[in-house]
Amino acid sequence: MPALSLPVAALPTAQPSSTIVPGQTLLYNNYSGVAPPFPGNVQGASLPTACGKPGPDDVLWQNLLAAEWIVFSFYQQAVERFDAASFTSLDLPNTTFERIIEIRDNEAGHLNAFYDQISNASTKPGPCSYDFGVTAPGSWLALQVLIEVSLMAFLTGLAQEAKLPSTGAALVAVAEVESRHNTWALIEAWNLNPFSGPIDTAYPYADQILASTNAFVVNGSCPKENPPYPYPNQHLPALDWNRKNETGHTGTDITFTFTEQKALFDDDGEYFAVFFHALANISVPFDPKKRTSRVPADFDAGKGIVIAVIADQWGAPTKESCVTAPLILLQQPGSITQLV
């Protein structure tokens, strides 16, 4: 398929042409302007231009493109709001802001690539308005780590949904880049060992994690032509925990909170707190009235993430068995629990 193409007049002056292909241009590596790199300046959804049957993975790419608009906007807002001194004042390396700009450029390249993967028989979702609730560089860096590890979690789930081998390969290639972004942050911003253990956490129900990113979308701001995001959406109630007094780390007690506790549980039902880490999950009987559990100590301490969900079946074997949305428990860096 050809790369996403727009009239030259629609592009910022920093962009050389209307046919920019990721991997064949330096735009997505070292553009340093504040204006959004192409296609970050696109407004509205792109409607189908061809008749016929949608591509076999069109829905997957639509979901991923809508999510990528969120990620790109997170970095673009940082480029617009901060400067180098914002981070050197925190005693961070003088290259910190430069790297944030470079990640922003990479994310714009992802937008371009995801547009290209959606067939011309399907709508290509456009950007909404986004509010991330952070204004200080320190809290932005904390949220950046959580967003990057969330990306890894839902990319592993999407890879399990891919119908074409080429789609699975493309998702792995994107995940490799996102992993490098997170590695940079853990080393440079947090001065930590970036390794997450031998295997990052694979969560099978990607759409549940994608749905949680709707918290950043300003209500009513999306183009009316955009397809539902994500599709399908179970509209599960959010799961959280007592962040004030607990860490959410392996081997520690955790007190869960819910947005719709009364509607969640049947009086005679049996429920489990299911914790995912690496390729395995561990189930613990769960009492909805006490709302307490313990993050399994079996997991390698301080590595990567643990994903928790409340389910009505041992092991949460299907997405329908989940009665809450998944909760990402960041294990590293442990020092930012209160900030995200």
The per-residue pLDDT for range 41-60, each reduced to its tens digit, is 888 999 998 889 999 999 99
Distances (CA, A) of 152 to 125, 135, 147, 149, 330: 21, 25, 9, 5, 12
Q: Which residue type occupies 324?
A: T
Which residue, 287, 232, 242, 295, is CA-closest to 265?
A: 287
pLDDT (tens digit per residue) in 158-187: 999 999 999 999 999 999 999 999 999 999
Q: 239-339 has which CATH code? A: 2.60.40
**pLDDT for the residue 302:** 83
pLDDT (tens digit per residue) in 234-281: 999 999 999 888 999 999 999 999 877 656 788 889 999 999 999 999
Q: Which residues on adjacent β-strands are paired with residue 271?
A: 286
Positive or negative, the Cα torsion across 16, 20, 26, 30?
positive
Residue 273: both structure tokens together: 């707190």
Phi, psi of 285 (to 5 degrees): -50, 140
**pLDDT for the residue 10:** 40
Which residue, 189, 194, 209, is CA-closest to 303?
A: 194
| 115 touches 4 (CB < 8 A) | yes
Residue 28: both structure tokens together: 């997505």
Structure confidence at residue 20 as a pLDDT band (50, 70, 90): confident
CA distance 263 to 283: 22
Domain ranges across the chain: 8-216, 239-339
**pLDDT for the residue 337:** 54
Residue 307: both structure tokens together: 């994903």
Per-range mean pLDDT, top range of 17-31, 144-158, 170-184, 326-340 = 170-184
Structure confidence at residue 23 as a pLDDT band (50, 70, 90): confident
DSSP string, 151-220: HHHHHHHHHHH-SSHHHHHHHHHHHHHHHHHHHHIIIIIT-------SS----S-HHHHHHHGGGGBPTT
Task: Tell me the HSE value of 267 on the side-chain side, using a 13 A CA sphere.
Answer: 0
Residue 124: both structure tokens together: 């290509």
For domain 8-216, the CATH architecture is Up-down Bundle (1.20)
Evaluate if residue 15 carries a pLDDT over 80. no
End-to-end CA distance of the chain: 39
CA distance 314 to 43: 45
Phi-psi group of 46: left, alpha or beta (phi > 0 → left; psi -120 to 50 → alpha; rest → beta): beta
| 140 touches 78 (CB < 8 A) | yes
Cα-based angle 226, 232, 238 (whole degrees, multiple of 5) = 100
Is the overall model pTM greater than 0.85, yes or no?
yes
Residue 4: both structure tokens together: 């996403």
Q: If you compute the radius of gyration of the chain from its CA atoms, what whole number of angstroms results?
A: 20
Contacts of 24 (CB under 8 A, 6+ apart): none
